[in-house]
Amino acid sequence: MTRPAQTAIVTGAGTGVGKAVAAALAKAGWNTVFCGRRQDVLDAAVAESRGAAGRAVAIACDVTDPAAVDALFERTVREFGRVDLLFNNAGRSLKSTPIDEISVEAWNDIVAVNLTGSFLCARAAFRSMRAQKPMGGRIINNGSVSAQAPRPGSAAYTATKHAITGLTKTLSLDGRPFDIACGQVDIGNALTEMAMPMTKGVPQANGTIAAEPVMDVKHVAETVLYMAGLPLAANVPFVTIMATKMPLVGRG
C-alpha cells in the first residue's frame, strides 16, 4: 500500500514558533494546516510559504472550543485524507505577577488555552490517528522550559506547562497500541515577538532585572522537523532547545 502524503496540523501557527514550524514542515513537503485564532494572520503566514513543496492551508480555530477543534480535524481529513502530525503549540502567557494578584479570570484563560486546548487537540488527533489506515501518527507538545523550571511570578503559565509534561507522558503510553508517538519540545528564549522582552530585561530568580540571550526561532523549527521525520518506531520523548547562555541551568 502506498502511504498518502503526510499531513500536519500546527496550532498557534500565525506567528512565532508555530509559524516557523508550520513553514518548515510545508517547505519539507508536508501538507500543513496553519491553525490559529485570526484568519487574516494565518492567511499572511500561508502566503509567505507560497512555493513550498507541500500544500499549506489556513484554518481559523479557537482551540478552547471542543466543537471548533473537532471541526478542524474533520476538515483536515476531508481535505488531505489523514492526520500524521499535530504540533500542539497554541499558548498564552501573563506578565510576571505574584500569585495573589493573578485574577481567577486570567488563570482560567491561560489554563483554557495552554492546557485544555492542548487536551482537545490531542484528543481529536488521537481519534483520527487511531481510526485511519495506515493507523498511527505523532503528537508533539510545546512544553517550554517552564515545564522544567519557573520564572518569577509565573504561577499560571508554569502550572499549565508542568501539566503538559503529564499529558505528553500519558499520550506516549496510551498511544502505543495504535502506533501513536508523542514527544515534547521544551523551548528556551527563541526570539519571537513574545520573547522580545528577554532582550531588554526580565525578572530573575535573585530579584534583579536582566536581559537574557536569545536564539533564532529557526532552530526550534529544525528540532521539531527532526522529531516529526522519525519513523513511528522511534520517538524523542523530551528535548530541550534553548539559547546556550540563558540562565536555565544553574543556581538562581
Active-site residue list? 157
CA 172 from centre of chain: 16
Q: How many CB atoms lie within 10 A of CB 82?
A: 21
Q: Could you tell me how many residues make up the chain?
A: 252
C-alpha cell at 107: 488563570
Separation in Å, CA 76 to CA 4, 7, 35, 59, 235: 14, 8, 11, 9, 24
List the beta bridge partners of residue 242: 188
HEC secondary structure over 117-145: HHHHHHHHHHHHHHHCCCCCEEEEEECCH
Q: How many CB atoms lie within 10 A of CB 235?
A: 17
- The alpha carbon torsion through 148, 22, 195, 213 (nearest 10 deg) reads 70
Distance CA 181, CA 143 (A): 16
Element (DSSP H or E) covering residue 16? helix 16-27
Helices (H) and strands (E) in the chain, counts: 7, 11
Strands of 105-237, DSSP E? 137-142, 180-188, 190-191, 202-203, 209-210, 215-216
